[in-house]
Structures are given as structure tokens and as C-alpha cells.
Amino acid sequence: MKKSTIRNSACAAALLLGIAGSAGACEMYRDGVLGVWRGNCKLTIDPKAPQIAQPFIEGMSRPILFKLPDLTIRKFKFYLLGQSLEVYADVTNAGDQSSIATNIGLTVTTLDPANVNPSVVNTLPVAAVPAIPAMTTRRIYVGTVFVNNTAQDVDVVTSGMVDQVTVAQPIRGTVIESNETNNSLIDMCRVFGPAPVLGPPGCN
């Protein structure tokens, strides 16, 4: 079963207010007992593949196993050209064997930090991921989204999964890995407008 990791607690509050229930987004809530954010995110991008919604717990650690390929999304990378935000994913093979070619899918949600304007969910086309040698990272261009930061800041929530499940492999995806629970990542950053407000880190 594929699981996800979330990096920024601020993401939880923004998602809870802005995109709960949206297709391809996250439904999140505060665990009053543990004092952490919990939730479910829809991470399967390919509409022809089995649709899955994976739970996550804020600060969940990743087990480290090095017996096979182990694909993870190390981070998301962004380049802003005018109001076009190019979105990349750094995919790392943390295992001790080369991986075969596979895929990656991302959902990028743009939010108004003031929660005045509606959120916009951008489901990017599934992108190809080449074979990656052991202990190596490849930067994959996934797509471009529009961000209107001419008047104010825009928060960008990116959720993605590498080695997505397919009809042929509905459980583990294409690559047999030493760890099938760390293929996903959820992160949040901010594209600053003319009057920047402190909050999530800038998208870079």
C-alpha cells in the first residue's frame, strides 16, 4: 500500500479551509488526542488506473530499507516565469539497485491565503520517469500551472506519487521496491505578490 508524507503543518489548515472535498485534493483534520494533522489525499492521477486515497499522519517517519530500488519524491522544484509556474519533481532512487522506467503524477492546488478567492485544482498529465541508478536523483518536469499573484500572494499545495498504480499493477505500481510506502509527497509553498506576507516558504 502506498502512503504519503506531509512536510508543512500550514498546508493542513489551508487545505482544510480551501479544498476539502475537491477532486484530486486532500481532506484533513486535527487529531485532538495526538495533536497532529491527519487526513486522506487522492494521489492517483491517471483516470484509467485504480483510484486510491491514502492516509497520512503529520511527521510520519519513513522506514529505510535498501534491498531493491526505492523510489521517493525528494522535493518539488518550481520556476516562475511571469504568471506561469513550471513544476518539477526530484525523484530519488534510495535503494541499492537501479529502477526501471515508470511514471509520476502530481496535483497542484492554488489557494488564496486569505480564503477569499476559490481554490483551483490542477491535475497535471502523468509524466514519464526514466530508469534511475541506485542512490541517484533525477529532476522530472511534470507541467505548468497559472498563478495570479499580481494582487496578492498565492499558496501552492503540491501532492504527487511516483510509480503510480496501474490497471496491470493495482497494488504496487510498475517497480518492485524495498519500500512501497514512501512513493508520495505533499508540500506547500507560497508565490509572493506585490505585498508579501510571512507564511509558508517561497516556491523555488
The sign of the torsion formed by the CA atoms of 48, 53, 59, 65 equals negative
**What is the average pLDDT across 42-65?**
65
Rg (CA), the chain: 17
Domain map (residue ranges) of the chain: 9-191
Q: What is the pLDDT of residues 108-135, one digit of tens each?
A: 999 999 988 899 999 999 999 999 999 9
For domain 9-191, the CATH class is mainly beta
Q: How far is CA 65 from the centre of its chain?
A: 22
Query: Picking from 25-29, 105-109, 198-202, which range would have the lowest pLDDT averaged per residue?
Result: 25-29
Q: Are 181 and 2 in contact (CB under 8 A)?
A: yes
pLDDT of residue 19: 41
pLDDT of residue 42: 72
Q: How many residues does the chain have?
A: 204
Residue with more model confidence, 9 or 142: 142
Q: What percent of the chain has pLDDT over 90?
A: 60
SS3 at position 11: helix
pLDDT of residue 167: 81
Q: Quick check: 14 pLDDT over 90?
A: no
Residue with more model confidence, 181 or 73: 73
| Residues contacting residue 26 through CB under 8 Å, at least 6 positions apart | 15, 19, 20, 39, 40, 41, 42, 157, 159, 186
Residue with more model confidence, 29 or 185: 185
